Amino acid sequence: MVKDEDIGKVMEILRANVPPHPYKSREPFKVLIATVISQRTKDEVTYTVAEKLFGKYPLPRDLKNAPTDDIAHLIYPAGFYKQKAKKIKEIAKIIDEDYDGKVPDNLEELLKLPGVGRKTANIVLSRCYDKDVIAVDTHVHRISNRLGWVNTKTPEETERELMKVLLKKYWKDINELLVMFGRTICRPVAPKCDVCPIKKYCKYYKENKKG
């Protein structure tokens, strides 16, 4: 059984050691579209092309009326940029016409948008609307299992189990902290366990690296 005090200590250490998320915007539409662009795309590419896109088309009604080819050109070299351009245009149209230009602030409505899954929806809800939700991507899924907080096979399972294990005050922060930590220290392959500041609390380290 994971102890609340151990989780609290891990969160405290991560907050002191993990660099802040590079994308500073808290505007729901920008965060939503940037998160769609980020799928299978490196951070530095995502945020560079997102700013280019919003520099030309800042509002849902602007993107709704933008040529799909121009959207694709602006977000290149993001992965699957042509498919994402179509989804971005569709999302902008729905938000402008069905939601009066405002991104929905609830999970059910966000999940109706094309290309938006639970991770993307929960990032918008936590980062922009201060909702107590847990956004689980591959980093959160992997690190939560390595720490021994959960024993799960899918991000959906991880989200459910983390809601049982984590105090609600940690829910909003867990994505940004573990994503940045997963990119720098707790990598998918060859994690840097020797310099990990939370190895004392890590099941993976104790079972695979210690001694």
Nearest 5 degrees, angle CA 42-CA 128-CA 91? 65
Q: Is 128 flagged in the annotation as binding? A: no
Task: Assess contact for 39 and 63: CB atoms under 8 A.
Answer: no
Q: Tell which residue, 145, 59, 42, 131, has the closest CA to residue 97.
A: 59
Annotated binding residues, written as ranges, equal 186, 193, 196, 202
Annotated binding residues for [4Fe-4S] cluster, written as ranges, equal 186, 193, 196, 202
